């Protein structure tokens, strides 16, 4: 079956964070939102049908999570990522963002240092600081249009109270799919310096042609022992509003520490529709995902070509994975506030502002490319007109 990613789904006035934010916050009703990371596509038809079936039942009481839920996740990780995980390695989380905070509390003590590789998904900062830990910044090195890790800087930054590193793999917002040698080098350092690694792999299924995601925990048994990985169907199948993600760790002691935080926070009961969605998406969503990835790759090509040919003041940083990309806007010579306002109020397109991810991304904006081609074309045309009209 061919899936349709071209039809524009009207998401306005649906309490969509992405689509209704500009109206609610800025009073602007005609802005194309290309910010928060969800997609303007319906979830796979099997997922929609399963939720409709469950919704039609009418009784939405407490659920117990069936064995088939776990089996579906285990089979997905095996088939898609050649990662053999055991049922005892898995636990639930009501989202990766809450899992980050639970893990910070589980694996570090107040005042401890936690490493992040900036610019990076900004809830990492909140998970560390709002739980009374210290951010240790290990900025990525930007070289032309690509980013790499700076391990020499990391070695210098780790002190006696640095306990954990939060890895973003694939990386949001720079779009890197870390290679095996890069992960090996990072992993070797984490083993040597005795850091726990919290590996946020929520974008693991979203790689572009020519790039393969390697789960960090598969690199070596030593690394598997100190890694806790977050995975979820939420980005992959556009079910983020259903609050269901998973924690994976081969280290039973780390998992037990996570579970005690999970219990203390009273998270025992799962979200009914999230439970249905995860199981069905992982069991039946592969064909839909393959087609989505083709569509996203074509969107990346389209945006890259459009910006190169028609908006040369901007530079598109081609991602290797995720459906997010940085745009280098420094060629416009505007301070960040002016730049953000220019896109919102003049071009009528809303992005994630680069510095949200760290000061290293000043002069950048992050675009979300997961929309029908017509929406993407309209947004890029708006930007082209606004820049020409300056």
Ligand X SMILES: Cc1ncc(COP(=O)(O)O)c(C=O)c1O
The residues binding ligand X (CB under 6 A) are 37, 95-97, 121, 168, 172, 200, 202, 232, 234, 240, 245
Nearer to ligand X, 285 or 387 (CB): 285
**The token pair that represents 331 in the structure block:** 């060629």
Strands (E), the chain: 32-33, 90-93, 113-116, 134-137, 141-143, 146-148, 162-168, 196-200, 227-231, 245-248, 315-316, 324-328, 349-350, 352-353, 364-368
CB of 232 to ligand X, least distance (A): 5
Shortest approach of ligand X to residue 3 CB, angstroms?
Answer: 22
Whole-number Å distance between alpha carbons of 318 and 151: 23
Closest CB to ligand X among residues 51, 97: 97
> What letter would DSSP give residue 342?
I
Give the shortest CB-218-to-ligand X separation in angstroms: 19
φ, ψ at 85 (rounded to 5°): -120, 155
> How many whole angstroms separate alpha carbon 69 and alpha carbon 282?
9
**Is the Cβ of residue 242 or residue 347 nearer to ligand X in the bound state?**
242
Contact 329, 185 (CB under 8 A): no
Could you tell me the smallest distance in angstroms from the CB atom of residue 299 to ligand X?
17
The first and second tokens of residue 57, run together, are 């039942």
Please say which residue, 175 or 250, places its beta carbon nearer to ligand X.
Answer: 175
- For residue 58, the minimal CB distance to ligand X (Å) is 28
Smallest gap from residue 86 Cβ to ligand X (A): 23
Burial (Cβ within 10 Å: 0-12, 13-18, ≥19) of residue 191? middle
In terms of CB distance, is 162 or 234 closer to ligand X? Answer: 234
**Which residue number places its CB atom closest to ligand X?**
95
What minimum distance in Å lies between the beta carbon of 202 and ligand X?
4
Contact, 170 vs 214, CB < 8 A?
no
Q: Judged by CB, which is closer to ligand X: 170, or 372?
A: 170
- Which residue number, 77 or 97, has a Cβ lying nearer to ligand X? 97
CB of 221 to ligand X, least distance (A): 26
203 vs 348, beta carbon nearer ligand X: 203
* DSSP per-residue codes, 201-256: -TTTT-B-TT-----GGGS-HHHHHTEEEEE-STTTTT-GGG--EEEE-S-HHHHH
Q: Give the residue carrying structure tokens 């708006």.
A: 382
């Amino acid at each position: 079956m061919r899936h349709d990613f071209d039809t524009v789904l009207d998401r306005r006035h649906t309490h969509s964070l992405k689509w209704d934010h500009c109206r609610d916050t800025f009073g602007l009703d005609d802005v194309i939102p290309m910010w928060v990371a969800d997609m303007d596509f319906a979830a796979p038809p099997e997922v929609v049908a399963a939720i409709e079936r469950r919704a039609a039942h009418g009784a939405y009481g407490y659920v117990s999570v069936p064995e088939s839920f776990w089996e579906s996740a285990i089979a997905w990780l095996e088939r898609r990522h050649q990662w053999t995980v055991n049922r005892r390695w898995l636990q639930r989380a009501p989202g990766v963002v809450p899992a980050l905070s639970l893990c910070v509390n589980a694996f570090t003590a107040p005042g401890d240092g936690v490493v992040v590789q900036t610019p990076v998904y900004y809830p990492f900062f909140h998970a560390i600081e709002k739980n009374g830990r210290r951010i240790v910044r290990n900025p990525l090195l930007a070289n032309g249009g690509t980013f790499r890790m700076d391990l020499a800087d990391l070695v210098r930054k780790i002190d006696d109270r640095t306990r954990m590193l939060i890895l973003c793999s694939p990386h949001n917002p720079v779009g890197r799919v870390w290679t095996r040698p890069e992960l090996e080098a990072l992993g070797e350092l984490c083993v040597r310096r005795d850091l726990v690694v919290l590996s946020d792999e929520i974008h693991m299924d979203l790689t572009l042609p020519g790039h393969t995601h390697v789960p960090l925990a598969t690199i070596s048994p030593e690394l598997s022992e100190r890694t806790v990985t977050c995975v979820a169907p939420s980005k992959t199948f556009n079910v983020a509003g259903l609050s269901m993600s998973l924690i994976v760790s081969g280290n039973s002691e780390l998992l037990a520490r996570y579970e005690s935080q999970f219990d203390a926070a009273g998270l025992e009961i799962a979200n009914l529709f999230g439970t249905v969605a995860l199981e069905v998406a992982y069991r039946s969503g592969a064909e839909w995902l393959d087609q989505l990835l083709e569509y996203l790759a074509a969107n990346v090509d389209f945006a890259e070509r459009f910006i190169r040919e028609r908006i040369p003041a901007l530079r598109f940083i081609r991602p290797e994975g995720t459906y997010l990309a940085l745009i280098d806007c420094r060629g416009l010579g505007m301070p960040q506030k002016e730049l953000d306002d220019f896109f919102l109020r003049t071009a009528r397109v809303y992005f994630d502002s680069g510095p949200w991810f760290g000061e290293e991304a000043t002069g950048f904006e992050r675009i979300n490319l997961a929309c029908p081609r017509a929406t993407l074309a309209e947004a890029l045309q708006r930007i082209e007109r606004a820049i020409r009209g300056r």
